[in-house]
A = this chain, B = another copy of it.
Protein backbone atom coordinates (compact mmCIF):
# COMPACT_ATOMS: atom_id res chain seq x y z
CA UNK A 1 0.00 0.00 0.00
CA UNK A 2 2.42 2.61 1.23
CA UNK A 3 4.45 4.56 -1.29
CA UNK A 4 7.86 3.27 -0.37
CA UNK A 5 11.08 4.93 -1.39
CA UNK A 6 14.26 3.02 -2.03
CA UNK A 7 16.42 4.87 0.45
CA UNK A 8 19.80 3.70 1.66
CA UNK A 9 18.28 2.75 4.98
CA UNK A 10 15.56 0.63 3.38
CA UNK A 11 18.11 -1.11 1.18
CA UNK A 12 20.32 -1.87 4.15
CA UNK A 13 17.47 -3.45 6.09
CA UNK A 14 16.27 -5.47 3.13
CA UNK A 15 19.79 -6.69 2.48
CA UNK A 16 19.96 -8.15 5.96
CA UNK A 17 16.82 -10.17 5.35
CA UNK A 18 18.20 -11.36 2.02
CA UNK A 19 21.61 -12.34 3.30
CA UNK A 20 20.66 -13.91 6.59
CA UNK A 21 17.50 -15.47 5.23
CA UNK A 22 16.11 -16.00 8.71
CA UNK A 23 13.82 -14.18 11.10
CA UNK A 24 15.27 -11.19 12.93
CA UNK A 25 14.24 -9.62 16.19
CA UNK A 26 13.88 -5.87 16.05
CA UNK A 27 16.37 -5.56 18.88
CA UNK A 28 18.94 -7.51 16.91
CA UNK A 29 18.27 -5.55 13.74
CA UNK A 30 18.78 -2.27 15.54
CA UNK A 31 22.06 -3.59 16.88
CA UNK A 32 23.16 -4.64 13.40
CA UNK A 33 22.59 -1.25 11.82
CA UNK A 34 23.19 1.03 14.77
CA UNK A 35 26.07 2.82 13.03
CA UNK A 36 24.06 3.41 9.91
CA UNK A 37 20.70 4.58 11.20
CA UNK A 38 18.57 5.51 14.13
CA UNK A 39 16.42 2.94 15.91
CA UNK A 40 13.28 4.95 15.20
CA UNK A 41 14.10 4.62 11.53
CA UNK A 42 14.39 0.86 11.86
CA UNK A 43 10.97 0.63 13.48
CA UNK A 44 9.46 2.79 10.78
CA UNK A 45 11.07 0.91 7.91
CA UNK A 46 9.84 -2.39 9.32
CA UNK A 47 6.35 -0.95 9.61
CA UNK A 48 6.38 0.09 6.00
CA UNK A 49 7.85 -3.15 4.71
CA UNK A 50 5.19 -5.07 6.58
CA UNK A 51 2.39 -2.86 5.27
CA UNK A 52 3.70 -3.62 1.79
CA UNK A 53 3.68 -7.36 2.44
CA UNK A 54 7.41 -7.70 2.01
CA UNK A 55 8.00 -8.94 5.53
CA UNK A 56 5.73 -10.21 8.27
CA UNK A 57 5.89 -9.77 12.02
CA UNK A 58 5.16 -11.92 15.05
CA UNK A 59 5.98 -12.02 18.72
CA UNK A 60 8.80 -14.17 20.03
CA UNK A 61 8.62 -16.18 23.23
CA UNK A 62 9.49 -13.26 25.43
CA UNK A 63 7.02 -10.91 23.79
CA UNK A 64 9.60 -9.17 21.62
CA UNK A 65 8.75 -8.35 18.04
CA UNK A 66 10.30 -10.34 15.23
CA UNK A 67 10.19 -9.98 11.46
CA UNK A 68 10.85 -12.35 8.62
CA UNK A 69 10.70 -12.19 4.84
CA UNK A 70 7.43 -13.22 3.34
CA UNK A 71 7.43 -15.93 0.72
CA UNK A 72 4.43 -15.50 -1.45
CA UNK A 73 2.69 -12.74 0.45
CA UNK A 74 1.43 -9.43 -0.85
CA UNK A 75 -0.07 -6.45 0.93
CA UNK A 76 -3.56 -7.72 0.16
CA UNK A 77 -3.08 -11.41 0.59
CA UNK A 78 -1.09 -12.28 3.67
CA UNK A 79 -0.42 -15.98 3.90
CA UNK A 80 1.49 -15.66 7.12
CA UNK A 81 -0.37 -18.43 8.83
CA UNK A 82 2.71 -20.57 9.08
CA UNK A 83 3.99 -21.37 12.56
CA UNK A 84 7.31 -20.27 13.98
CA UNK A 85 9.80 -22.21 16.01
CA UNK A 86 12.02 -20.50 18.56
CA UNK A 87 14.93 -22.26 20.22
CA UNK A 88 15.15 -21.96 23.98
CA UNK A 89 18.93 -22.22 23.79
CA UNK A 90 20.06 -19.90 21.01
CA UNK A 91 16.82 -17.91 20.65
CA UNK A 92 16.84 -18.28 16.88
CA UNK A 93 13.52 -18.37 15.08
CA UNK A 94 12.61 -20.44 12.06
CA UNK A 95 9.56 -20.11 9.86
CA UNK A 96 8.02 -23.56 9.53
CA UNK A 97 6.35 -24.53 6.33
CA UNK A 98 4.09 -27.09 7.95
CA UNK A 99 0.38 -26.55 7.85
CA UNK A 100 -1.56 -26.68 11.08
CA UNK A 101 -5.29 -27.16 10.92
CA UNK A 102 -7.29 -24.87 13.14
CA UNK A 103 -10.87 -26.02 13.59
CA UNK A 104 -13.57 -23.39 13.33
CA UNK A 105 -14.81 -22.13 16.67
CA UNK A 106 -18.50 -21.51 16.86
CA UNK A 107 -19.58 -17.90 17.30
CA UNK A 108 -16.02 -16.76 16.75
CA UNK A 109 -14.62 -15.20 13.64
CA UNK A 110 -10.96 -16.11 13.59
CA UNK A 111 -8.97 -13.51 11.69
CA UNK A 112 -5.42 -14.55 12.38
CA UNK A 113 -3.51 -17.44 13.82
CA UNK A 114 -0.23 -17.11 15.66
CA UNK A 115 1.59 -20.30 16.48
CA UNK A 116 4.89 -20.27 18.28
CA UNK A 117 6.61 -23.54 19.10
CA UNK A 118 9.55 -23.47 21.44
CA UNK A 119 12.19 -26.09 22.11
CA UNK A 120 15.61 -27.16 20.90
CA UNK A 121 16.57 -26.42 17.35
CA UNK A 122 18.63 -28.69 15.14
CA UNK A 123 21.93 -27.09 16.14
CA UNK A 124 21.20 -26.94 19.86
CA UNK A 125 19.91 -30.51 20.09
CA UNK A 126 23.60 -31.54 20.13
- With an 8 A cutoff between CB atoms, is A28 at the interface? no
Range, interface on chain A: 20 to 34
Asked whether A119 and B108 contact (CB < 8 A) given A63-B63, A101-B100, A101-B101, the answer is: yes
Give 19 A-B contacts (CB < 8 Å), ordered by A residue: A59-B59, A61-B114, A98-B105, A100-B102, A100-B103, A105-B117, A108-B117, A108-B120, A109-B119, A110-B117, A111-B118, A112-B117, A113-B115, A113-B116, A113-B118, A114-B114, A114-B115, A114-B116, A114-B118
Contact with A119, one of B88, B101, B110, B121 (Cβ below 8 angstroms): B110
Shortest Cβ gap from A124 to chain B (Å)? 9
Residue pair A108, B88 in contact (C-beta under 8 Å): no
